[in-house]
Amino acid sequence: MLNHMHEPPEQSRTRTLFDLIAIGLVIAILTTIHYTNYHYAVDYHILLQFAYYIPVIYAAMRFGPAGGILSSFVITLLFLPLMSHFQDTLTPAAKYTQWVEVGLINIIGWLTGFLSEEERKAKRKYKLALTVQKELVEKIKREGQERQRLESEIRQTERLTALGHMSAGLAHEIRNPLGIMKVSIQMLAQEKGDDGDGVVTQYCRVLLEECERLNRLVSEFLSFARPKDPVRGKIRLGKLLDEGVTLIQPALQQNHIQLEQARDAVDDQEVEVDPDQIKQVFLNILLNAIDAQGEGGVIYLEGVQLDGFVGFAVSDEGPGISPDDLPYIYDPFFTMKEKGTGLGLSVVHRILDQHGGRISTVNRRDRGVRVEILLPYIQKTGV
């Protein structure tokens, strides 16, 4: 079956014109042969008449019922005069055969065109059904991926909640004796401050530093275990990012790192968040990028918009994260840093969860890590 449905318009018009000329030319040649050789025997003309089926069938297949009917009608008009010329020399049976032949040409033209058009319709319906099926498969696939992501976030939230309750009690129990130890060490350092070799003073200084480190760790535990409810307010995302960049500048300069920004598209978007908590998220992500990158290089800060969310992405040029470690980076106490507590990303995850936001972390194709933070943005109403 001929089918030119997917040809470009210009090519389709050229092909149509070519087919029309070819069909007309074949009919003209056959008719010319008939009329220039009318003195031959009738059987010769009857045999030649069968050749008319070729252009009729092709026209019907190419242009549907209209092509078949029109071509057979033209052939009938052209052949009738010659057929009338032979009427006196034909037997009654031959006359009936001639008229039946003319009728068959018209019937076959219409029937072939009708069947061709039905086949085209069936093919169009099949292709439409195939397209719908592919769209449904893609939709089911996307819904499955979204369901997996939501299930993962629910499990993460459940783990954080359970661990948070435990950490809160544990942190309080540790903080009280830790305070007593710190005061006792300070008093001992004052009392032994004038010892000869200074060994006791040195040990006390080490003990105080470790007490301070433990106190910071306990504070992080409490921040993770009992986060404050966000005090929401409308604010431009650009203002939040500007304040965060100002706070992080000393760390960038100390490590000789350049911060490249591309966030003009999201600066004017408004979000309803707790500014202090979102700045904590921003600083945590950027500090992680600085730690991963080390000295020198560039950290990229770009704006992101996606399906009703707006936010930012931070990309570093560090060594990246092992694929085996990626599923656990938001788990409490999981860290790849020598002196890390493993609570930073857990706190970030919890803050974003309270704000209805999202976080995703992926390894970049060349090197480094890209962390994307998304927050629901406020739709601007027309004036």
Q: In the predicted model, what is the mean pLDDT of residues 273-298?
A: 90
Q: Can you identify the CATH homologous superfamily of domain 233-376?
A: Histidine kinase-like ATPase, C-terminal domain (3.30.565.10)
Say if residue 196's pLDDT is above 60. no
Q: How far apart are CA 75 and CA 54, in angstroms?
A: 12
Residues 65 and 111: beta-carbon distance below 8 Å: no
Residue 310: predicted pLDDT: 94
Adjacent-strand bridge partners of 373: 312, 359
**Residue, of 39 and 119, whose pLDDT is higher:** 119
Question: b/e string for 72-87 if b means 16 or more Cβ within 10 A?
Answer: bebbbebbeeebeebe
What's the confidence (pLDDT) of residue 383?
39
Find the range with the poorest average confidence among 21-35, 57-71, 98-112, 163-177: 163-177
Q: Where residue 236 falls among pLDDT bands split at 50, 70, 90?
A: very high
pLDDT, tens digit, 9 for 90 and up, residues 133-162: 999 998 888 888 888 878 877 777 776 666
Q: Mean pLDDT: which of 27-36, 101-110, 199-208, 283-292 is highest?
A: 283-292
**How many Cα neighbours within 13 Å face the side chain of 367?**
8
C-alpha span between 262 and 301 (Å, rounded): 6
Coil, helix or strand at residue 264:
coil
Higher pLDDT pick, 111 / 91: 111
DSSP assignment letter at 269:
-
With cut-offs at 50, 70 and 90, classify the pLDDT of residue 316.
very high
* 188: pLDDT strictly greater than 60: yes
Check residue 189 and give its pLDDT: 74
**pLDDT tens sequence across 78-106:** 777 766 666 666 666 666 666 777 777 78
Burial category of 329 from C-beta neighbours within 10 Å (exposed 0-12, middle 13-18, buried 19 and up): buried
> Which sign does the torsion angle of CA 183, 187, 193, 196 carry?
negative
Please say if the pLDDT value at position 362 is more than 80: yes
Q: Which amino acid is at 383?
A: V
Looking at every residue in the chain, the average pLDDT score rounds to: 80
* Range of lowest pLDDT (22-26, 60-64, 288-292, 332-336): 332-336
259: nearest Cα among 312, 213, 206, 214 = 312
Residue 261's pLDDT band (cuts 50, 70, 90)? very high
Measured CA distances, 352 to 157, 162, 220, 279, 355 (Å): 11, 18, 17, 12, 5
C-alpha closest to that of 346 among 265, 249, 281, 274: 281
pTM over 0.75: no
End-to-end Cα distance, the chain: 58
Question: What is the pLDDT at residue 1?
Answer: 46
So what's the pLDDT on residue 23?
A: 83
Least confident interval from 103-117, 164-178, 326-340: 164-178
